[in-house]
Amino acid sequence: MATKKYTVTLPEELAEEIRAEVGSGGFSRYVTQAIERQRERDHLHEFVGWWEAEHGEVTDEELARAEAERLSLQRQYAERKARSVSDRRAS
């Protein structure tokens, strides 16, 4: 992907915290990834707006079911990861 240099204004303290964590060479990559994540959120927000316009607002019950499913999947992932680590250590 082609790149182009832009000038942006950031709070100095925030910028220096990030630079200290990622180094001067990683600063642009960090900012690029942050902007990409924000764009993903913006697109998701647009999609949810469209979905709700087509199908009605998401109910609290639907949100609770989705959250329960997310937590279940997260637990399954953590368990598989833990088993994988213990299997590698046993080998």
pLDDT in tens, 7-19: 999 999 999 999 9
pLDDT in tens, 32-54: 999 999 999 999 999 999 999 99
Average pLDDT across the chain, whole number: 94
Exposure string of 64-85, with b = 16+ CB inside 10 Å and e = fewer, is eeeeeeeeeeeeeeeeeeeeee
Distances (CA, A) of 12 to 19, 45, 86: 10, 30, 44
DSSP codes, 21-59: HH-GGGHHHHHHHHHHHHHHHHHHHHHHHHHHHHH-PPP
| Amino acid type, 82 | A
